[in-house]
């Protein structure tokens, strides 16, 4: 028993110096790894947003093409315009303004509405059921879809990416910050299709969540 007690007394714990060294090493590792992990997560979110933008563009192009070929109601648009949509709970909505490109002449095909056969919003909701919350900008020119910008997740109705239809056509924009896909104004992740690179662009990126 005495020998066991002596053995226990002989055991020493960590000294203060050793603890300080361990804590310092952990701090250095954290300083190196945390920014790297943040960058990895950010890149993954950009990829996810770009994928969503590509899916939206594919379906939007299908709708406008079908409207022209099947319904004989081509999209009447010459100059590049940007159309804004909001997705909430899987439901697509938009405010149709006076200068919004129309389908055909006196057409029953519309941008707003819930009918998937004659309404763009209804069609998108029916074909992109996994997209539940998002802010979407779609660029159109000369009767076709030229590009898409999307912010995934719930966003304010006043949100704006600062990306224009011409930015989508040129595939460059001046609103990016540290990397393509990240708004300089507030770091919001924006997916684009075609994927816009960093450039002079024409917007200022005034988005807010």
pLDDT tens string 84-117: 999 999 999 998 776 688 888 657 899 999 999 9
DSSP one-letter code for 101: P
3 HSE (CA, 13 A, CB side): 0
pLDDT tens string 47-61: 999 999 999 999 999
Parallel, antiparallel or unpaired: strands 81-88 and 91-93: antiparallel
> 0.85 cut: is pTM over it?
no
Distance CA 171, CA 199 (A): 9
């Amino acid at each position: 028993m005495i020998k066991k007690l002596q053995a226990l007394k002989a055991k020493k714990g960590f000294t203060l110096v050793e603890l300080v060294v361990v804590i310092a090493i952990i701090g250095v590792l954290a300083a190196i790894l945390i920014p790297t992990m943040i960058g990895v997560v950010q890149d993954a979110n950009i990829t996810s947003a770009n994928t969503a933008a590509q899916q939206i563009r594919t379906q939007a192009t299908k709708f406008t093409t079908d409207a022209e070929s099947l319904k004989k109601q081509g999209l009447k648009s010459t100059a590049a315009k940007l159309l804004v949509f909001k997705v909430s709970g899987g439901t697509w909505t938009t405010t149709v303004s006076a200068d919004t490109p129309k389908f055909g002449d006196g057409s029953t095909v519309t941008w707003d509405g819930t009918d998937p056969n004659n309404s763009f919003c209804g069609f998108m909701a029916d074909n992109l059921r996994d997209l539940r919350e998002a802010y979407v900008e779609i660029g159109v020119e000369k009767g076709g879809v030229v590009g898409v910008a999307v912010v995934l997740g719930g966003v304010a109705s006043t949100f704006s990416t600062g990306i224009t239809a011409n930015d989508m056509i040129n595939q460059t924009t001046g609103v990016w910050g540290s990397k393509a896909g990240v708004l300089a104004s507030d770091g919001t992740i924006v997916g684009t299709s075609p994927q816009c690179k960093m450039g002079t662009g024409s917007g200022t990126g005034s988005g807010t969540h």
